[in-house]
């Protein structure tokens, strides 16, 4: 029973962990900045701007909006193709 519970908990926590739920928005913004440094493509600009909005929303205590925008920012950072 205990082992089943342990396995279930590990699996359940793996999903949010892989989605970055346990990493702060500030850390994720910093990673986006680093990953797109010097990249002036549309997706790189958009990734940085969405990350800034995420920080702004978090600063206004809207953590859900902050997470939503940082997820979008990471999507665009991935499309930007890295730092230049």
Partner 1 sequence: MIKRITLLAATLSLGACVTHTDINIDELADARAAIAASKAAGAERCAPKLQAEAVSSLYWAAHEYSEGSIHPEENAELTARAISKAQEAKAASKRNCAPAKPEIIKLSGIQFPHDSAELTPASIAILDKAVDTLNRRAKINVEVAAHTDSSGAASYNEALSSRRAASVMNYLQSKGISANRLSSKGYGEAQPIVSNTTAEGRAENRRVELRVLN
Minimum distance from residue 16 beta carbon to partner 1 (Å) = 4
Q: Are 66 and 20 in contact (CB under 8 A)?
A: no
Task: Answer left, alpha or beta for residue 83, where phi above 0 means left and psi between -120 and 50 means alpha.
Answer: beta
Q: Which is nearest to 48 in space by CA: 59, 57, 37?
A: 37
For the window 7-46, what string marks contact with partner 1 as x by the rule CB under 8 A?
A: -xx--xx-xx-xx-x------------------xxxxxxx
In the complex, which residues of this chain contact partner 1 (CB under 8 A)? 5, 8-9, 12-13, 15-16, 18-19, 21, 40-46, 49-50, 53, 57, 64-65, 67-69, 71-72
């Amino acid at each position: 029973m205990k082992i089943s519970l342990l396995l279930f908990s590990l699996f359940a926590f793996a999903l949010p962990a892989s989605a970055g739920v346990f990493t702060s928005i500030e850390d994720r913004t910093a990673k986006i900045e680093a990953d797109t440094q010097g990249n002036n493509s549309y997706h790189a600009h958009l990734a940085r701007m969405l990350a800034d909005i995420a920080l702004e929303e978090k600063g206004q205590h809207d953590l859900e909006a902050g997470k939503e925008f940082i997820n979008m920012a990471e999507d665009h950072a991935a499309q930007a193709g890295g730092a230049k």
